[in-house]
Structure 1
Amino acid sequence: MAFRRLLREREFLCPEFHHLPTGEDPRKLFPELKFPVVVKARRLSGSRGVIRADNSEELMRAVNWVRAIQSRADRDAQDLGLIIEDFIPGREYALEGTLERGELTTLALFDKPDPMDGPYFEETLYITPSRLPEALQDCIHEDVARACRVAGLAAGPVHAEVRVNDQGVWILEVAARSIGGLCGRVLIHFLGMSLEELILRQAVAEPLPIAGEGGAAGVMMMPIPRRGIYHGLEGLAAAQAVPGVTGVAITVQPGEIIAPPPDGASYLGFIFARAASPADAEMALRIAHRQLHFDIRPEYPATVAPAAEKP
């Protein structure tokens, strides 16, 4: 929360927020809230425990739900409480970068083509290079760089999430980490090395001879359609054969109980693509995903009760 307060003090465009301690009645915040709002767990990942509420009734349900999720997932849930922040309309983008002596280098700016308007916020597609106008891309870079400076970040990886609308660039997150999951693999052909190698080289002051290739690339975090037990899939070979697809990684394991956000914290896997243009990379990912058919069964198979015996 300290970083959020710092952004607000330095007059960044960022969501207004309120801290709701554990056990406190959210109705006390009603006079201060401007709906829609987003209820967030404090330190979960993968869109877990994030729910949009459009009115006071939805807010009460969302608070109870997110509190239950956080209490199961974080042993410090009692001390953390929740965040309730303004929902910011607009398209969302992610910046992946590195800092050296306080200077930000943008490695990639990712479009997120699928709208993220809620009520839940599962991420799906990351496509680079961005199709935003260059001037707007520069604005995102400058705002993230300034946020890093005011936060005292000077070296190492940076992952930032922003929203863009008619009012400008809104900072949602700036974190001293790299992109999560397997998504960093999408940058190998741009960097000429893995993102992890680049970060380690920078940490030990090794040269960074970035000699990658051009073009476009994308990754799909395959969404979980419903809660259940994963048993397997069909169509993997067909997905791998789609032109432009460079890899399909299934990370879920047979027998694993899975769930979509806001309860779930993972994906079915990842699809990677390279193409001449961002639009072609996006299309390859969507076509490959349509080839995959996942066998997800209920946790407890339905049973038919025996008919009662006639007297």
Structure 2
Amino acid sequence: MKRILLLLPASSYRNEDFIAAAKKLDVEIISAADYCHRLAPGWGMSPISSVPFDQPEIAVHQVMESLGRKPDAVLAVDDSGLELAALLSERLQLPGNPPAGVWLMRDKLAFRRLLRNGGLHCPEFYHLTSETQPEQACSLSFPVVVKARRLSSSRGVVRADTQEAFTQAVKWVNRIQEKADRDGAQLGLIVERFIPGHEYALEGLLEKGELRVLALFDKPDPLDGPYFEESIYITPPQLSQAKQDEIAHTVQQACQLAGIVSGPIHAEMRLNEQGVWLLEIATRSIGGLCGRMLQHALGMSLEELILRHALNMPLPKVWQAEATGVMMIPIPKRGILKSVHHLDEARQVPGISDIKITASAGQIVSPSPEGASYLGFIFASGISPDAVESSLRHAHSCLQFDVQTEIPVTNAITHPGQAGCA
């Protein structure tokens, strides 16, 4: 029986899907998680369940001491474990991407430098160091985008059109980064010129350095700021094959520049009259539950395909029988989610295949740029991308979310899946 070491963040949407895929393939799972090391012993958890994913150099020793027999592959389920997975694969002499290349893709500043030095389209940018006063004048012409360096899902990304807005954005993004990233106070921020154009995303798999496109997604909602919360993904996009090939070629070039040669990638880009402008490339698959929209086209779950690749098992051919889409249900305002209404009505909308509400009643929710999650996911399929988009928007319009904006001060109860630890 093959064995795989899965790095499962405590708060990830995708843990259950990866575990289910491994069981379907009759693969032995060794799971490592990032629960708080102070709380985990009291919950009866082993040391491998309280690994500091955000300190990979320390975590690699902790995992190696707990590992026992060597696995056949190491796989990070989400962003937080990517660097650790690369280090473990290197230490165990397993196939994978070099740690330096994974780091280049995770750090937005390093990624911009990679694109610029590699001759790919890249906006003007600079590093706003942690020592720089936020009142300092922006050195680029407006509009600009202020970004946290290592956060995902548009968290800590704010557009500024004036000096006053820039000053406020810097203060705000600094606070978000310092709260979300262990090294946030020292990292500084990246400031770059806003890139006009329509946004797309590519889901792919690298096999010995060659990119295999699994899906190309259109994002029909304009993402022009001041915040960049993503909502709808639809595939296939209504885009010429030449443009699709240009996107794939650009993603392939960037991966080659970083030395990324194996495994899933998820790339975000803008397309305008000048060409393809990469926003970022993650060395993991699409986040949240969005990958479920690809199950029909793949003939299996996306997680099963990724495990098959990691374990050198046969892979399916990708075919696109119909248009599919997903809506990441946006959070309307910060507060406590009390309830969700009209869910049955939304599920009866033609074209809707499933709706998953992932936020729990009583959970504090917050929209972009502070939030790191969604209320849930709406899935649809149809005869055309337009039909899918219409179904998603109709179903969303049926739903009503009761969010209490006044957050009372109470004695907090920490749930293991949401625990934080210094």
Range of TM-score over shorter length: over 0.9
Q: What is aligned with 1:176?
A: 283
**Normalising by the residue count of structure 2, what TM-score does the alignment of the two structures yield?**
0.69
Paired AA for residue 264 in structure 2? P
CA distance in 2, matches of 1:16, 1:38: 11
CA distance in 2, matches of 1:213, 1:163: 23
2:181 is aligned with 1:74? yes
CA distance in 2, matches of 1:211, 1:35: 42
Q: CA deviation at 1:237?
A: 0.4
2:235 is aligned with 1:128? yes
**Normalising by the residue count of structure 1, what TM-score does the alignment of the two structures yield?**
0.93
Q: What is aligned with 1:157?
A: 264
2:121 is aligned with 1:13? yes
Equivalent of residue 294 in structure 2, options 187, 192, 197? 187
Contact 1:15–1:172 (CA<8 Å) still a contact in 2? no
CA distance in 1, matches of 2:161, 2:177: 21
Q: What is aligned with 1:119?
A: 226
Deviations 1:228-270 (A, max 9, x none): 1101111100111111111100011101111111121111100
2:346 is aligned with 1:239? yes
Q: CA RMSD in A?
A: 1.4
2:192 is aligned with 1:85? yes
Q: CA deviation at 1:214?
A: 0.5
Paired AA for residue 9 in structure 1? N
2:255 is aligned with 1:148? yes
In structure 1, the gaps of 5 or more residues are 302-311
CA distance in 2, matches of 1:11, 1:277: 37
Distance 1:211 1:47, change over 3 A: closer
CA distance in 2, matches of 1:173, 1:91: 15
Q: What is aligned with 1:269?
A: 376
Contact 2:148–2:157 (CA<8 Å) still a contact in 1? yes
Deviations 1:158-198 (A, max 9, x none): 11011011111111112211000111111101100111110
Q: CA deviation at 1:29?
A: 5.6
CA distance in 2, matches of 1:120, 1:211: 34
With 224-233 and 15-24 compared, the bigger mean Cα shift is at: 15-24
Equivalent of residue 315 in structure 2, options 199, 203, 208? 208
Q: Number of aligned pairs? A: 300
Q: What is aligned with 2:7?
A: none
In structure 2, the gaps of 5 or more residues are 1-108, 409-422
CA distance in 1, matches of 2:391, 2:337: 25
- Which of the two has greater strand per residue? 1
Paired AA for residue 187 in structure 2? L
Contact 2:333–2:405 (CA<8 Å) still a contact in 1? no
Contact 1:35–1:54 (CA<8 Å) still a contact in 2? yes
Q: What is aligned with 1:304?
A: none
Contact 1:192–1:213 (CA<8 Å) still a contact in 2? no
SS class of match (1:198):
helix
Q: CA deviation at 1:135?
A: 1.0
% identical equivalent positions: 59
Q: What is aligned with 2:397?
A: 290
Q: CA deviation at 1:299?
A: 2.5
CA distance in 2, matches of 1:211, 1:61: 46
Contact 2:134–2:171 (CA<8 Å) still a contact in 1? no
Q: CA deviation at 1:73?
A: 1.6
Deviations 1:98-139 (A, max 9, x none): 000111011000000000000000000000001111111111
Q: What is aligned with 1:218?
A: 325
